[in-house]
Structure 1
Amino acid sequence: MRLAPLLIVLLTALPAVAAEPLRLGLLTFGTAQWEIETMRTHGIDAAHGIRVQPQELAGKDSSAVALLGGSVDAVVGDWLWVSRQRAMGHDLTFVPWVGMTGALLVPEASPVRTLADLAGKRVGVAGGPLDKSWLLLRALATKRHGIELDRIVDRTFGAPPLLAQQLEAGRLDALLTFWPSAVPLEAKGFRRLLDVAAIPAELSLEAQPPLIGWIFRRPWAESRAAEVEAFRKAETETRARMCAPGFDWAGLDHLTRATDTRTRDGYRAGFCAGTPGVVELDSARRLYALLAELGGEDLVGPSPVLQPGTFW
């Protein structure tokens, strides 16, 4: 009988979980899936008084439609897109999640040692001609060697899996790809020529702003500000747990598709290296200006400057 008062005390000590879930639009094989599944499996969302509800989306276009249409509360994307949407009248805002990551890979025996050595080579670029990593790589090549990569290489744009296959088959001499796609290639012996995260510092952007984050509709976020803040804390705690010694990354193999320890360790290292720092608006504005100069209106839309309110 004495257990009843103790049970009441324990139950009242638990945080009340919000009635409405946070509906998160996630790409089927995106790295956000790893974190959100961990958050839910370990009850970290509930510990912070919220309930996250993942909804799988097919691609970036469907993410934009789902967010703007209100069928999800948040999606993962970059703040340049948020600024562009704000300039077009969509009141969105951005919460940092991941720093700038990616890699330029070449075969282990490749004679390519510098960006200048890429002249005349076949280079694959994950994404399209407006991919941010590609634009930054072009800027770096100009600064280091006075060359325009866009003109001196035989470039191929496409999806990371297809380009990875072409690199392995010897139909590409180098590949600029997102870090989750670089990990299994490095495990197979391909060499990292350059880390995308190192580029901003060479371009005098020492405090690089996290490029990828959670995007909300601002009116919705303001109406549920306490839950947004709770989600940020839950996300930080989840990442810390995943990056702590002893976390079982093998438990995520069904999402990462890792089949060996080296690949699994590579995913852990890449994920943890992406932990975002504090956003410095001046650095963000300078990076925006650089990318706007390189990508033009096709990248940033009608606004040549970073829109106020882009960051939450």
Structure 2
Amino acid sequence: MTIATDLGRALRGLAAGAAAVAVLALPALAQDRPAPAQDLPVLRLGLQLSGTVNWEVDTIRHEGLDTANGLTLAVQDMAAGPAAQVALQAGAVDAIVSDWLWVARQRADGQDLVFIPYSRAVGGLMVPADSPAQRLGELAGGKIGIAGGPVDKSWLILRAYAERQEHIDLAAVTEQVFGAPPLIYKAALSGELQAAVNFWHFGAKMQAAGMRELISVQEAGTALGLDPGTPLLGYVLRGDVVRAHPGLAEGFAAASRAAKETLATSADAWDRLRPMMNAADDAEFEALKAGFIAGIPPEGPVDEAAAAKMLALMAELGGTELVGSATTLPEGVFWKPAS
């Protein structure tokens, strides 16, 4: 027998031993691996793809945070607002982004929806940089542009603040122009308006363009006794979908929180997102980035007592047109992880 033969046998023995060890180790390793994507439950998320929430959703998918947390996120483009709400109620999608006041209204009417917080970012009332106005009362006789309608939540809070702090009816002493956020943004920059109330990201763009914030909705709300930590916007999920797939809501909430942590700490993540942010220049990019991070809600359950206080104020200011029959906070609006 040759040395080569003995060496060959030895090597074959080592290989067989290594293979046996590997086979024994496979079950333990398999326990640590996430399930293949094709075996995970799919959450159909309906979004307007031009919205700021896509910065977070794109981060979730790019980083694989959905599959790492036990689900596959499938995004469908759709119109915002009522169209998305109808799609959710019809079962065309499993989740959308909306405010929890709408969820409260739907639950009061018997709809099975739950809310997972996404953002507490709110806008403010913007005026031109050279505006002489230093308080809301000094806008009397002027024209205010409002993104939304007469029961827009930010506008209602500002009206309540003006009445309580300055003893004026802001709607009575000014002219209001209601319109889509981009139209209000353009009209404000062109000088057609003396002031504008818009979504937070348009407010950030206005500031980057030289306008100034006379008062934020958060400041006005705090003066009215509202908790600035209460998130207004969130992911709204169908309750039947949550029940059909145990762990789905918890996994999605974890993926959302992980994406927020990435965006709060990683400049590279923002550089990757910049093309979809449509920032006109560096100043606008930084303003949008800062505004998003400032709007990240605190971790943990929503303070339901604070939310109930906000709902009561919205019911007082907006009536049934805004909150329907939800004069008190219905049970189950805010999703809670299983104990």
Name the TM tier (shorter chain).
Answer: over 0.9
Q: Give the aligned residue type for 1:80.
A: L
Runs of 4+ displaced beyond 3 Å: 1-12
SS for the counterpart of 2:193 is: coil
Which residue of 2 is the match for residue 127 of structure 1?
Answer: 148
- Offset, 1:13: 2.2
Instruction: Find the counterpart in structure 1 of residue 327 from structure 2.
Output: 304
Contact 1:253 1:259 survives alignment (8 Å): no
Q: Is the 8 A contact 1:91 1:219 kept in 2?
A: yes
Note the alpha carbon deviations across 1:191-224, whole angstroms, 9 max, x for none: 1111222222111123642111111122221222
Equivalent residues of 2:41, 2:70 under 8 A apart:
no
CA contact (8 A) 2:71 2:252 kept: yes
- Counterpart pick for 1:63 among 84, 91, 108: 84
Q: Normalised by the size of structure 2, how large is the TM-score?
A: 0.87
Q: Structure 2 counterpart of 1:301, which letter?
A: G
Q: Is the 8 A contact 1:208 1:283 kept in 2?
A: no
SS of residue matched to 2:230: coil
Matched residue, 2:139: 118
Is 1:224 aligned to 2:245, yes or no?
yes
Contact 1:207 1:280 in 2 (8 A): no
- CA distance, structure 2, for counterparts of residue 254 and residue 246 of structure 1: 14
- Structure 1 CA distance for aligned equivalents of residues 30 and 61 of structure 2: 20
User: TM-score, with normalisation over the residues of structure 1?
Assistant: 0.94
Deviation larger for 296-305 or 240-249: 240-249
Task: State the secondary structure of the residue aligned to 2:268.
Answer: coil
Q: Secondary structure at the match of 2:296?
A: coil
Moved more, 131-140 or 13-22: 13-22
- 1:15 equivalent in alignment to 2:38: no
Matches of 1:254 and 1:202, distance apart in 2: 38
Q: Give per-residue Cα distances to partners, 1:151-186, cap 9 Å, x unaligned.
A: 111111111111111112111011111111112221
Which residue identity does 1:261 align to in structure 2? D
1:236 is matched with 257
Q: Distance in 1 between matches of 2:228 and 2:205?
A: 29
How many Å separate the matches in 2 of 1:171 and 1:207? 31
Query: Which stretch shows the higher mean deviation, 150-159 or 97-106?
Result: 97-106
Does 2:110 correspond to 1:93? Answer: no
Q: Give the Cα–Cα distance (whole angstroms) in 2 for the partners of residues 124 and 183 of structure 1.
A: 16
* Equivalent pairs, count: 312
Residue 24 of structure 1: CA displacement?
Answer: 0.6
Deviation at 1:89, TM superposition (A): 2.1
Asked which structure has the greater CA Rg, the reply is: 2
Give the match for residue 61 of structure 2: 40
Q: Distance in 2 between matches of 1:177 and 1:13?
A: 47
Looking at structure 2, the residues matched to 28 and 99 of structure 1 have their Cα atoms a distance apart, in angstroms, of: 20
Runs of 5+ unmatched residues, structure 2: 1-14
CA distance in 2, matches of 1:63, 1:35: 18
Q: Find the aligned partners of 1:248 and 1:218 in 2 and give their Cα distance.
A: 32
Paired AA for residue 181 in structure 1: F
Give the deviation of 1:85 after TM superposition: 1.1
- In structure 2, the residue matched to 1:5 is 22
SS in structure 1 at match of 2:280: coil
Residue 287 of structure 1 aligns with an amino acid whose one-letter code is M
Cα separation, partners in 2 of 1:85 and 1:122, compared to 1, 3 Å: same
Quote the RMSD (CA, aligned, Å): 1.9
* SS state at 1:225 partner: coil
Once the two structures are superposed, the pairs formed by residues 243-254 of structure 1 within 5 Å of their partners are 243-254=264-275
Distance 2:268 2:242 in 1: 32
Output the amino acid matched with 2:70: G
Does the 8 A contact of 1:241 with 1:247 survive in 2?
A: no
What residue identity is the alignment partner of 1:15? P
Aligned partner of 2:167 among 110, 134, 146: 146
SS of the counterpart of 2:97? Answer: strand
Which residue of structure 2 lines up, in the alignment, with residue 274 of structure 1?
295
* Counterparts of 1:215 and 1:243, CA distance in 2: 23
Q: 1:201 aligns with which of 197, 210, 222?
A: 222
Runs of 5+ consecutive residues of structure 1 not aligned to the other structure: none
C-alpha contact 1:123 1:156 (8 A) present in aligned 2: yes
- Measure the CA separation in 1 of the matches of 2:30 and 2:288: 38
Give the conservation status (yes or no) of the 8 Å contact 1:207–1:283.
Answer: no
Aligned sequence identity (%): 38
Q: Residues 47-99 of structure 1, C-alpha deviation per residue, up to 9 Å, x if partnerless? A: 21221111111121221111111111111001111111112221112111111
SS in structure 1 at match of 2:267: coil
SS of the equivalent of 1:286 reads helix
- What is the one-letter code of the residue matched to 1:104? L
Aligned pair 1:292/2:319, yes or no?
no
Match of 2:4 in 1: none
Asked whether 1:158 is paired with 2:179, we answer yes
Q: AA paired with 1:279?
A: V
